Amino acid sequence: MSASQPPQTPDFPTLLVKIFGKDRPGITAGLFDTLAAFSVDVVDIEQVVTRGRITLCALVTEPTACTEGELRATVHSWAESLKLQAEIISGLGDNRPRGSGRSHVTVLGHPLTAESTAAIAARITGTGGNIDRIHRLAKYPVTAVEFAVSGCETEPLRTALATEAAEIGVDVAVVSAGLHRRAQRLVVMDVDSTLITDEVIELFAAHAGCEAEVAEVTAAAMRGELDFEQSLHARVALLAGLDASVVDKVRTEVRLTPGARTLIRTLKRLGFQVGVVSGGFTQVTDDLKERLGLDFASANSLEIVDGRLTGRVTGEIVDRAGKARLLRRFAAEAGVPLAQTVAIGDGANDLDMLNAAGLGVAFNAKPVVRRAADTAVNVPFLDAVLYLLGITREEVEAADAHED
């Protein structure tokens, strides 16, 4: 067979050349310079460096029978000269075809233990999947790794791993593989206890002296124990009479969730559109939209008359159903299919939105939300969502450094 015509049959003879040892510049070039003398074709290459140790695998076509022994001896001699180890294995063809049904499984741990990794890998196998490749996405502030899996459909794999993740205390996201993962998307998130660490109505209530009463009703609503609209009216009524100047004070008190700016900045660089929907108030979300460069924002609006809060809201109520409706509206305006949307939230009133999105992420959410969402993130860093989209920490830092 000639080098200009690579074999097409699955049983053509190949050599797997594996190199191990201390990494240094020039190893990859040196190996292929050595192989070039034998006129072999490159079928596949894999290389990984872990803690300064390189593993380099080259799958090449088998040379002529009279030169294979010389190739083996030459490669071993070259490796020994660099204090590397070499292994050469004869075989047939390339990798076996990947099974139908391909997914990316992202695992977040803080820390990621060997026990939890074993449990996830075993559950993938038990579901009929095969792990084709693993690589690390981030090493801090959480450890994030991604498994490329084939051989089982995404939905049953997601269901199985969600159960496993809840039992062992790690976060797992499962998304279908394919070009759509690289497409421009829309990300829509809740505000209170998601984009920000606060509950905005409680910030207002603190100025009205009724923080405890409002917090109790808020907690019950987020657990799904109360109708959101009724609870909203009840809480807002307690704010009646507050001077409108309190709005500026609350805006200064709002605290962004760690990683929020990084998440939004990175998504915008990638061409994503980003929006927020909130059961809170436009008096705060409009300010966040301007400060963070968001594309969309919608919330309830506090009524202000003669410079004071009336204790009422105006316009369409943004409740559980309203958030899902707004997600669809934003997607239509952005020209993004609903399957290409990501929704992030923590409370029961986010459930319809999480279920409507292509990927629903429960962020430090209540148990009822974690059970219903596609995936859960239970670390206090909002930018961990980037890893679920296949974006690495190194890529984020490199982009930040370039802009600086």
Q: Which of 41, 171, 190, 374 is catalytic?
A: 190
Output phi, psi for 235, to 5 deg.
Answer: -75, -45
Beta strand pairing status for 102-109 and 143-150? antiparallel
Output phi, psi for 250, to 5 deg.
Answer: -65, -40
User: Is residue 381 classed as helix, strand or coil in its secondary structure?
Assistant: coil
**Peptide linkage before 111 cis (omega within 30 of 0):** yes
Q: Which of 23, 44, 94, 192 is catalytic?
A: 192
Give the residue from 232, 247, 254 showing the smallest Cα distance to 315: 232
Specify whether 41 is catalytic.
Answer: no
Name the token pair of 54. 């390189």
Measured CA to CA, the distance from residue 5 to residue 64 in angstroms comes to 15
Specify whether 190 is catalytic.
Answer: yes
Positions of E strands within 23-170 = 42-50, 53-61, 85-92, 102-109, 130-138, 143-150
Angle between helices 228-237 and 211-222 (to 10 degrees): 170
8 Å CB contact between 62 and 11: no
Measured CA to CA, the distance from residue 285 to residue 191 in angstroms comes to 8
The DSSP bridge partners found for residue 55 are 20, 48
Query: What count of residues does the chain have?
Result: 404
Distance of CA 367 to the CA centre of its chain: 20
Name the token pair of 129. 């999947």
Annotated catalytic residues are 190, 192
